[in-house]
């Protein structure tokens, strides 16, 4: 389990990552989603211990990354961004070096290297220099380097970037096969990828987490736009005039004019007025009435892509002044809180002291009373003795 607690990373005056917190459960595949420069790589680098957070704490399987980095690093297999490789080594040599660096015992090394090679499908190129490999294979070698020795946690920074569709599919299948055996964190700026592979998506933008949810929920959270793509033959050029006045339609936009004099339009319906069947029927009738040849009507499904863009766009764009203001307010709050805490602590100490004082006083009083009663008793005894003596 990975716990990230209020972590910030500051470069000079700018925050690369600001006050992020999230958990990753064992066996989960989590996707980091964000635009370029959103802070994905920085976050991953901090989890692997490559860089230190300015403030905050990262705990991996109950071990603090900052205080026991070696132990944590043993648990993690990291595939860095841009697939860095030692280009003068062969595939096998590279993976074997990674195994050495990970302190895998000599006896188990050969087996571990072999397993990593087989899992990533590198058998055919095992004796080739990594510099001569194609991009897809390089990516696999890098993945094999992270995978060797079966670390509990795999952190993959943009594992499929720059691959052709077939390779992307293969790598995705591979990552999917890690489910349950490894905890996986991967980053990407491609949504379909994340939605296909991951159980949980963390959307991060400008260094802050703006959504943590399952891909399905994210998709649901966006109001589905009703968009149709229609193809028509419109000899009298009436289409726009006819449908502009339609009460169901929000906007019409010509996308393309085909060579055979047909047009492709994008039609967006008003929200909440959307009965699919009703619209199609209405559309067909109106077309027929106006001599427009309806060649096809297709509904566009809302995608995760839309969700992503919407979530990011909905986020208020803050100016620098506003950010500074927020920062200032936060610092002020922190200070106030600190002051309050100090005050409370002072009061607490005061109270305790008072209590102690009173306790002591009470004790003293008790003692005094006791001694008084004792002395009284003594006196009484004395008196008694005296009187006894007198009687005698």
Partner 1 sequence: MLAVIKKELKSYLLSPIGYIFIGLFLLMFSILFYNSIFSSGVAYFEYAFYDASTIMTFLIPVLTMRMFSEERKNGTEQLLLTSPRSLFSVVMGKFLAAMIVVLVTILGTFIHFLILQHFGAPDIRVALCTMLGFFLLCAAYVSFGMFASSITENQIVASVLTIGVFILMWFLPGVSQNFYNLSLMYMFDHFPEGVIALNEVVRFVSFAVLFILLTVIVLQRRKSVK
Query: Judged by CB under 8 A, which of 87, 324, 340, 375 binds partner 1?
Result: 87
Q: How many Å apart are CA 60 and CA 40, to the nearest integer?
A: 18
Given 26, 100, 347, 366, the residue binding partner 1 (CB under 8 A): 100
Determine the Cα–Cα distance for residues 235 and 218; give it in Å rounded to an integer: 43
Which tokens go with 154?
Answer: 């795999």
Treating both helix axes as pointing N-terminal to C-terminal, what angle do 135-147 and 91-101 enclose, rounded to 10 degrees? 30
Nearest to 76, CA basis, from 85, 68, 84: 68
Which is nearer to partner 1, 54 or 262 (by Cβ)? 54
Q: Is the dihedral of CA 329, 335, 341, 343 positive or negative?
A: negative
Which CB, 86 or 290, lies closer to partner 1? 86
Among 5, 35, 74, 315, binds partner 1 (CB under 8 A): 74
Q: Is 81 in the site for partner 1 (CB under 8 A)?
A: yes
- Determine which residue in the list 59, 63, 89, 212 makes contact with partner 1, applying CB under 8 A: 89
Among 18, 40, 92, 102, binds partner 1 (CB under 8 A): 102
- CA-to-CA distance for 158 and 190, rounded, in angstroms? 9
Pick between residue 75 and residue 212 the one whose CB is nearest to partner 1. 75
Q: What's the closest the beta carbon of residue 298 comes to partner 1, in angstroms?
A: 44
Residue that has been written with the tokens 């764009």 in this structure: 317
Among 97, 121, 280, 305, indicate the residue that binds partner 1 (CB under 8 A).
97
Nearer to partner 1, 48 or 188 (CB): 48
Binding letters toward partner 1, positions 25-64, x by CB under 8 A: --------------------x--xxxxx-x----------
Q: Which two tokens stand for residue 358?
A: 């009173």
> Tokens 């003795």 label which residue?
385
Of 301, 230, 300, the C-alpha closest to 264 is 230
Cβ-based nearer residue to partner 1, 96 or 188: 96
CB atoms near residue 180 (< 10 Å): 10
Print the binding letters for residues 354-383 with partner 1: x by CB under 8 A, - otherwise. ------------------------------
Tokens representing 215 are: 């891909």
Site string for partner 1, 309-348 (x = CB under 8 A): ----------------------------------------
| Residue 367 CA: distances (Å) to CA of 230, 361, 363, 364, 372 | 99, 10, 6, 5, 8
Pick the binder of partner 1 from 101, 118, 255, 338 (CB under 8 A). Answer: 101
Q: How many residues does the chain have?
A: 392
**Contact positions vs partner 1 (CB under 8 A):** 45, 48-52, 54, 70-71, 73-74, 76, 78, 80-82, 84-89, 93, 97-98, 100-103, 145
């Amino acid at each position: 389990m990975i716990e990230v607690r209020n972590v910030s990373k500051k470069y000079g005056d700018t925050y690369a990552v600001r006050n992020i917190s999230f958990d990753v459960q064992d066996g989960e595949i989590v996707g980091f989603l964000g635009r370029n420069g959103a802070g994905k790589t920085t976050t991953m680098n901090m989890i692997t211990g490559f860089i230190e957070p300015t403030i905050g704490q990262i705990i991996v399987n109950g071990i603090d990354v900052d205080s026991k980095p070696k132990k944590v690093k043993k648990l993690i297999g990291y595939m860095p961004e841009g697939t860095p490789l030692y280009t003068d080594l062969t595939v096998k040599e590279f993976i074997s070096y990674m195994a050495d660096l990970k302190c895998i015992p000599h006896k188990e090394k050969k087996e571990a290297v072999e397993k990593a090679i087989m899992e990533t499908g590198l058998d055919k190129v095992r004796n080739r220099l990594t510099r001569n490999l194609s991009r897809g294979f390089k990516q696999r070698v890098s993945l094999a380097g992270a995978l060797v020795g079966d670390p509990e946690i795999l952190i993959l920074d943009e594992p499929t970037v720059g691959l052709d569709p077939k390779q992307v599919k293969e790598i995705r299948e591979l990552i999917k096969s890690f489910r349950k055996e490894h905890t996986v964190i991967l980053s990407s700026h491609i949504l379909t990828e994340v939605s296909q592979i991951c159980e949980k998506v963390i959307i991060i933008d400008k260094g802050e987490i703006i959504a943590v949810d399952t891909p399905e929920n994210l998709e649901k959270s966006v109001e589905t736009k009703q968009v149709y793509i229609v193809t028509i033959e419109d000899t009298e050029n009436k289409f726009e005039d006819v449908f502009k006045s339609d009460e169901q339609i929000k906007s019409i936009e010509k996308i393309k004019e085909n060579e055979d004099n047909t047009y492709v339009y994008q039609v967006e319906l008003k929200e909440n007025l959307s009965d699919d069947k009703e619209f199609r029927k209405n559309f067909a009738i109106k077309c027929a009435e106006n001599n427009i040849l309806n060649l096809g009507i297709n509904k566009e499904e809302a995608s995760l892509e839309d969700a992503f863009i919407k979530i990011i766009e909905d986020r208020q764009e803050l100016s620098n002044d506003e950010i500074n203001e927020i920062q200032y307010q936060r610092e002020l709050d922190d200070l106030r809180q600190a002051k309050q805490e100090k005050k409370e602590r002072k009061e607490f100490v005061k109270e305790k002291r008072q209590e102690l004082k009173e306790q002591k006083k009470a004790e003293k009083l008790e003692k005094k009373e006791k001694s008084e009663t004792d002395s009284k008793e003594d006196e009484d005894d004395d008196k008694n003795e005296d009187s006894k003596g007198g009687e005698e």
